[in-house]
Chains A and B, each alone.
Chain A
Amino acid sequence: MKKALCAALTATFALAACGEYSQVANYKPGSYSGKSDTRPWEGGQFAGNKQAWEAALANRNQAQNEYKRAQ
């Protein structure tokens, strides 16, 4: 949050200096700096076993395909 505010402030200064180009903070992929999130397979029922998690999802995905059960 703080970091984001800093970025916003910096942007404001930049704006004063460079006219239209710096009205906003430039978005760069990966600039998110908030709270980190755990990956879906971490903790909980998969306890870090990514393969098991992927298998579970793959299996679940096929439930949306009724052609698997009725041609």
Chain B
Amino acid sequence: MLTRKSHSGGAARADFAAQAASTAAGGVLAATMDRRTFLKRSGLAAGGGALATQLPYNMIGAAEAADVPAGKGGAEVRRTVCTHCSVGCAVDAVVENGVWTRQEPVFDSPLNLGAHCAKGASVREHGHGEHRLKYPMKLVDGKWKRIKWEEAIAEVGDKLLAIRKESGPDATYWIGSSKHSNEQAYLMRKFVSFFGTNNMDHQARICHSTTVAGVANTWGYGAMTNSYNDMQYSKAALYIGSNAAEAHPVSLLHMLHAKENGCKMAVVDPRFTRTAAKADIFTRIRSGTDIPFIWGMLYHIFKNGWEDKAYIDARVWGLDKVKEEIMKWTPDKVEEVTGCKEADVYRVAEMMAKNKPSTVVWCMGQTQHTIGNANVRAMCILQLVLGNVGVSGGGTNIFRGHDNVQGATDVGPNPDSLPGYYGLAAGSWKHWCNVWGVDYEWVKKQYASQAMMEKSGITVSRWIDGVLEKNELIDQDSNLRAVIYWGMAPNSQTRGLEMIEAIKKLDLLVVIDPYPSATAAMAAMARKDGVYLLPACTQFETSGSRTASNRSLQWGEKIIDPLFESKSDHAIMHAFAKKFGFENELCKNYQMVKDKTGWEEPMTEDILREINRGCWTIGYTGQSPERLKLHMKNMHTFDVKTLKAKGGPCDGEYFGLPWPCYGTPEMKHPGTPNLYDTSKHVMDGGGNFRANFGVERDGTSLLAADGSASKGADLQMGYPEFDHVLLKKLGWWEELTDDEKKKAEGKNWKTDPSGGIIRVAMKNHGCHPFGNARARALVWNFPDAVPVHREPIYSPRPDLVEKYPQAADKKAFWRLPTLYKSLQDKVKDISKEYPIVMTSGRLVEYEGGGDETRSNPWLAYLQQEMFAEVNPKDANDAGFRNGDYIWVETPTKGRMKVRAQVTERVGAGTVFLPFHFAGWWQGKDMLEYYPEGAAPIVRGESVNQGTTYGYDQVTMMQETKTTLCRVVKA
């Protein structure tokens, strides 16, 4: 409790007990009272008052009040979206004389109705930005030196070109960002492709990559199926591995509203989170045992016949095999592995089965495991069995983490795919080259070879191994020599100790970010030169669209000009493209605009229009900048529960045109509020499961059963995806215009540049362009087709490692050898030395690596120290007390010096650390390694300095949620 709210002198919680006591006292005080009476009673009142006594009044980083008179002269209101989590809270910024002077709530927004958490309510601080990286810098003899932009572009550019020449383009690694707008993230994919490599990635890898892969492979799209708003229709909600009250606070507005109207809420988590505090049911689970818990629930569901048989028969494939595995998980086994009693599991199962529609929510607690892909599929299976998918109030509500992590996943710098999940096959490249208006052969020449062009790149979770791994073991010619951190923190990736070694070994490290970030400090600690810092501006200093978790796109206006010498990310990309000699190819379809300093940048609207022309697969095609801007202006016309506009200029459309918003903008698809919803017509946002895995498997049809198509579809049966052949077979080809026919010939709905195939299928015949299939309970193309429990590599239970071991090691997996079983066997008994499970998570005040939020005095004030939550039993065993400094030590020899917060919030045998901190290294403040004046206000030990090895068997997601540690008094 000490560290959590240190502003009240180290005892906020304790003080509150006094505060609560004074409430009772207050009842007495409420009567009329003179000072005499007061003096007599002040003994009672003092306890309450003491709350404010010990505020630290030191003036670290006092917020600079904008020195603008309070008058209304020349004030202008500009609308954008909060840049933190994925709820998409709208922000109205009042700007006077170019200064962001006030922030007003946007009550009209159907997503947040004016509400904000601590982060959202503090975004105006971005207009101050005192701790920002103010100008380009480079590391010279271990000191940060200010340089000019021209110098920076020239030097970094020359070095990158030299490395490309000597070692090939794959020797570079580009870490993009979920903080980029759709336009910037998309442009980055294109930019790095033109440089010639697929070695790029962004936050989604370490956030929801397992969700995207697991869920998409189950039923079509790897995204949140419903919306935060739609949860108001839920009758029950199960949160596993999500602490939404801290990570997505405004989502609780909708959940608590639903609760008031009878929705039941359960939280299953190793921690009693703030979300759990609001739940009807809380069940503590051992970290990393999600599948046994879910199978345990399904065991009861099947035993009691609570499954939705008709739904399963019509819309699900391969459940029998999964059921065999499920029925092995008898309550005793579930308890052995998860620690949950039969009655507790039963209670949650019953809640979900008897209060329908019921929904599930998961976040990093499910995804960040070596079996993350299987965890999320188990959740999908639970919802399929209950018939909850494609149903308002049901679905899998997967809360994404960043303001545009959904968008960056959809169209951004992914190592395994071009924008829109097109993959990297030659046909995909040709599709995009066509959209970009560049020659496919030219792009191919930029790459080392066609093979490298079609091979997935290294993931951000493993870039350090791309540097450190023996060259003969990696699946590309050269090791990585240059890394560009373009909007991402290093302390969010695991194995920090090895990251320092990798940073030492690089030839070039570039940070492009509004803040120098922990990368700068780590680099200055490890090296003397070869590091550049380039200041990028935030989303408040440019315009563009961002995609919230519910797939709604919102257009953000530019609030203020870029602060200091910072530039927009797309301006920086253009500057480098110029240096590399492909600016004409990169910006062929864009109008260029000049900023105050004469730099050119592409118009963001034009980039979005290009996205619209290419991303047919996921329906990023209908969201033209004009339509999005109209939505932003008419927020009040949208219904809060359905997100549908009633009347007004956006009549019938869903807010933010949640993707898929199919076809051309002219086709006026309204967007899709809930995926796979057969109760609606496809032109009203209805749909069904995607036919993406063939039409038949093992002699059974993968297509949906007769009668289970979306409302009003001409084909009331299962059907494959549309292409020119199917259209001709059905006799619908003639409904295309002549121009459409020309363009659609030989194409399918995803590659037809006219959008004609989609138009005819949807508008004329009410059919879904991607076909109508069953969801796959059995994902045969994954290592574990049936999700099975596997103990974490670093497990506290050697006995269970025997029973539920990891699978075999992999040789060339995302270009790198990857360890599973061999490492698990090696460390099987390490829990004797490191007996406590170490897990990590979010705090409401901070986000991600925290460089941005810890630099904001209004937030930093609320969370001034890094801490670890330790159960009283473990603290007593180790001999320390609440508030003591302790060392958290891990099997990698990681050592984190943090304050102990002794609390029942975690169970005995589990330690929780927030992951937003950096700026301390093994007990030492790294202040001296930051550029002067640009260090975050609050610095602390990074949990990932000590995290261990472990990666998801499909997506290379890092294991952060279950590893081991021990705690000792410092």
Chain A residues with CB under 8 Å of chain B are: 20-21, 23-24, 26-27, 45, 63, 66-67, 69-71
Contacts and interface: CB of A to CB of B under 8 A. Distances in A.
A45 B257 contact: no
Contacts of A45: 72
A24 B36 contact: yes
A15 to B, nearest CB: 12
B34 A70 contact: no
Given A24-B35, A26-B34, A63 B640 contact: no
Given A45-B72, A63-B114, A70 B232 contact: yes
Nearest to B110: A69
15 contacts: A20-B36, A21-B36, A23-B36, A27-B34, A27-B35, A63-B107, A63-B113, A63-B114, A66-B640, A69-B113, A69-B639, A69-B640, A70-B641, A71-B261, A71-B641
A20 B114 CA distance: 53
Interface string B110-138: 10011000000000000000000000000
A45 to B, nearest CB: 7
B253 interface: yes
Contact of A70 (B35, B36, B114, B257): B257
B30 to A, nearest CB: 16
B640 A70 contact: yes
A20 B36 CA distance: 9
Interface string B91-121: 0000000000000010100100110000000
B36 A66 contact: no
Nearest to A67: B257
Nearest to B115: A66
B106 to A, nearest CB: 10
Given A21-B36, A63-B113, 13 more contacts: A24-B35, A26-B34, A63-B114, A66-B113, A66-B640, A69-B110, A69-B639, A69-B640, A70-B229, A70-B257, A70-B640, A71-B261, A71-B641
Nearest to B232: A70
What does DSSP make chain B's interface, helix, strand, loop or mixed?
Answer: loop
Contacts of A26: 34
A66 B34 contact: no
A69 B635 CA distance: 12
A54 to B, nearest CB: 18
Contact of A66 (B35, B72, B257, B639): B257
Nearest to A27: B34
Contacts of B229: 70
Scoring B72, B113, B639 by chain A CB atoms within 10 A of each residue's CB, the highest score goes to: B113
Scoring B72, B114, B232, B640 by chain A CB atoms within 10 A of each residue's CB, the highest score goes to: B640
Interface of B: 34-36, 72, 105, 107, 110, 113-114, 229, 232, 253, 257, 261, 639-641
Contacts of B110: 69
The 9 A-B pairs at the shortest CB distance, nearest first, are namely A70-B640, A63-B107, A24-B35, A69-B640, A70-B641, A66-B113, A27-B34, A63-B114, A70-B232
Contacts of B261: 71
Contact of B253 (A21, A23, A66): A66
A32 B65 CA distance: 31
A21 to B, nearest CB: 8
A13 B46 CA distance: 29
Contacts of B640: 66, 69-70
A67 B110 CA distance: 12
Contacts of A71: 261, 641
Contacts of B257: 66-67, 70
A10 to B, nearest CB: 15
Contacts of B36: 20-21, 23-24
A3 B261 CA distance: 56
Contacts of B232: 70
A41 to B, nearest CB: 16
Contacts of B253: 66
A71 B113 CA distance: 14
A34 B777 CA distance: 75
B108 to A, nearest CB: 9
Contacts of B34: 24, 26-27
Nearest to A26: B34
A5 to B, nearest CB: 17
Contacts of B72: 45
Nearest to A20: B36
A63 B806 CA distance: 53
A27 B34 CA distance: 7
Contacts of A27: 34-35
Contacts of A23: 36
Nearest to B35: A24
A27 B36 CA distance: 10
A19 B72 CA distance: 55
Scoring A21, A27, A70 by chain B CB atoms within 10 A of each residue's CB, the highest score goes to: A70
A20 B641 CA distance: 64
Scoring A23, A27, A63, A66 by chain B CB atoms within 10 A of each residue's CB, the highest score goes to: A66
A45 B110 CA distance: 28
B966 to A, nearest CB: 47
Nearest to B636: A69
A59 to B, nearest CB: 10
A1 B345 CA distance: 68
A32 to B, nearest CB: 15
A70 B642 CA distance: 9
A36 B94 CA distance: 30
Contacts of A21: 36
A45 B72 CA distance: 9
Contacts of A66: 113, 253, 257, 640
A63 B253 CA distance: 14
A63 B641 CA distance: 16
Contacts of B114: 63
Contacts of B113: 63, 66, 69
A71 to B, nearest CB: 8
A63 B92 CA distance: 15
Nearest to B113: A66
A20 B34 CA distance: 13
Scoring B35, B110, B229, B639 by chain A CB atoms within 10 A of each residue's CB, the highest score goes to: B35
Nearest to B261: A71
Contacts of A67: 257
A27 B107 CA distance: 42
A41 B36 CA distance: 37
A63 B104 CA distance: 13
A38 to B, nearest CB: 14
Contacts of B35: 24, 27
A20 B640 CA distance: 62
